[in-house]
Amino acid sequence: MQQIVVALGDRSYPVFIGSDTFKELAVAIKKEFHGARFALVTNTTIQELYRSQIEQLQHSLDALVYAIPDGEKYKTIDTWSGILDTLLENRLERSSVIIAFGGGVVGDITGFAAASFLRGVKYIQIPTTLLAMVDSSVGGKTAVNHRRGKNLIGAFHQPGLVWVDTAYLSTLPEREFIAGYAELYKYAFIGGKEMFDFVMEHHDDMIAKKPGILQEGIRRSIAVKARIVSDDERERGNRALLNFGHTFAHALENYYNYEKILHGEAVLWGIACACDLGVRIGTVPEDSRKAYEALLKKPGMPELPDTPDCEHLYDAMFSDKKVSGGKIRFIVPTSPGKSIIKSDIDRNAIIATLTRIFKTQPAND
Ligand code: NAD
Ligand code: GLY
């Protein structure tokens, strides 16, 4: 298996990346967490799809298994509380290890349960969606949603091990795959020129799930994230670059009530907006505009339920937790593979970008 280390001193941890690696998983876990008791958290969909694997893990690790309901709407304090009840009722201890087996929802909520159970226990991420592989399983952001917004209650708590097996992608619905691909695509704009060139060159093969290439794209994405998180774990500076396209995306998700659009789909639209804004305010040279627009035609823009209202989208940006001192932080591209954080952007420029992208939808011209 390939390995990347997220370097955080005595909290450093390995991310293993491979395909069809299940046979090696229990041994690797036991080696890393010798003598611990285990609890595995998944959701009902994954429990059904991967019943045999879960039963084998249950058996070989003597693990407690708990399945939460499937869906972002269950990423709540109530579900978190249900996990804690189960851990307490089964007398798991400070030395116990919790395993998150699922997509970003399972990973985020299980990570938060691990962060808070007995003031913090170790946990393992086994991501089963593309989004979770390239983004949410690495970096230690854990959270649940509040009725006032997404991910408003949570903690930074790094996993002790991440196990990425691309074989899980074979059962992932296509729409979820594309949504996850948006987060991989994002790294092309923030991960340096080499990452940019890699994504542009291998985009079609990755979308076609060509095994070696897709795994390499995932590995490179994780390497970029590991580097950024190692430098700025608590998002005091450059970690915000990981939110490329997200200021717009969060507004779009909010506009559609977090129901009609997947996060990654909103991120693809957000990337289009960020590129347009970069050209508009001059961080991207005008002569590169065409190149940036061509890039966005690559993944194609997911269909929207209706044309969003631009003023409403603008207002929605202020309810994001990334607003600081009343200013919205935008990440805008400067050159292939590079972006910067800007928070002093004029309202008119933002409205003009929203209007251009959502009223004329240039990315699909
Ligand atoms: P998800 O966890 O809801 O998974 C999407 C759907 O795919 C679900 O229905 C799930 O049951 C199903 N699924 C998962 N794996 C499958 C598989 N292998 N085969 C078939 N179906 C499968 O969504 P997601 O996109 O993985 O994650 C989104 C969440 O991640 C959001 O809550 C978001 O806030 C969070 N997130 C967190 C971070 C972070 O840094 N912590 C970063 C990005 C996103
Ligand atoms: N997905 C953003 C981060 O991990 O910081």
pLDDT of residue 363: 45
**Catalytic site residue from 141, 202, 203, 219:** 141
User: 264-273: per-residue pLDDT in tens?
Assistant: 999 999 999 9
pLDDT above 50 for 93: yes
Lowest-confidence region among 24-33, 243-252, 297-306: 297-306
347 is catalytic: no
Residue 235 backbone zone (phi > 0: left; psi -120 to 50: alpha; other: beta): left
Mutate to test the pocket of ligand 2, among 6, 137, 138, 141 (most ligand atoms within 8 A of CB): 141
Which residue in 160, 88, 164, 99 sits closest to 131, CA to CA?
164
pLDDT tens, position by position, 184-213: 999 999 999 999 999 999 999 999 999 899
Between CA 305 and CA 279 the distance in angstroms is: 27
The answer to whether the pTM exceeds 0.75 is yes
1-22 in b/e burial notation, b at 16+ Cβ within 10 A? eeebebeeeeeebbbbbbbebb
Percent of the chain with pLDDT over 70: 96
Residue-level pLDDT at 320: 67
Q: Reply yes or no on whether 250 is catalytic.
A: yes
How many Å apart are CA 125 and CA 102, to the nearest integer?
8
Of all atoms in ligand 2, which is nearest to the CA of residue 240?
5
pLDDT of res. 322? 66
Q: Does the active-site annotation cover 243?
A: yes
Mean pLDDT of 295-318: 86
Per-residue pLDDT tens over the stretch 209-253: 998 999 999 999 999 999 999 999 999 999 999 999 999 999 999
User: What is the per-residue burial (b if ≥16 Cβ within 10 Å, else e) of 303-335?
Assistant: ebeeebebeebbebbeebebeeeeebbbbbbee
Q: Please report the pLDDT score of residue 210 as a whole number.
A: 95
| pLDDT at residue 61 greater than cutoff 70 | yes
Q: Rounded distance, CA 230 to CA 224, Å?
A: 10
DSSP string of 72-110, one letter each residue = GGG-SHHHHHHHHHHHHHTT--TT-EEEEEESHHHHHHH
Per-residue burial over 345-357, b if 16 or more Cβ lie within 10 Å, else e, is beeeebebbbebb
Catalytic-role residue among 250, 280, 329, 356:
250
What does the mean pLDDT of the chain come to?
A: 93
Pick the more confident residue, 113 or 328.
113
Residue 217: count of CB within 10 angstroms of its CB? 25
> 13: pLDDT confidence band, cut at 50, 70 and 90?
very high
Beta bridge partners of 269: none
pLDDT per position as a tens digit, 143-186:
999 988 889 999 999 999 999 999 999 999 999 999 999 999 99
In the prediction, which pLDDT does 258 show?
Answer: 84
Angle between helices 22-32 and 51-61 (to 10 degrees): 30
For residue 291, the model assigns a pLDDT of: 74
Q: Strand locations in 231-356, DSSP E?
A: 330-335, 338-342
Of residues 321 and 307, more confidently modeled? 307
Q: Take residue 326 and report the two structure tokens written for it.
A: 């009343």
* Residue 144, helix vs strand vs coil: strand
In the prediction, which pLDDT does 364 show? Answer: 43
> What are the tokens at 151?
């991910």
Q: Which atom of ligand 1 is nearest to the CA of 143?
A: 41
Count of Cβ atoms closer than 10 Å to residue 24 Cβ:
14
* Residue 225 among the catalytic residues: yes
Distance 225 CA to ligand 2 centre (A): 8
Q: Separation of 239 CA from ligand 2 center, angstroms?
A: 7
pLDDT at residue 365 is higher than 70: no
- Among residues of the chain, what percentage have pLDDT more than 90? 84
Give one DSSP letter per residue of 190-221, joined into a string.
HS-HHHHHHHHHHHHHHHTT-HHHHHHHHHHH
Q: Is 239 a catalytic residue?
A: yes
pLDDT value at residue 352: 96
Residue 324, pLDDT score? 67
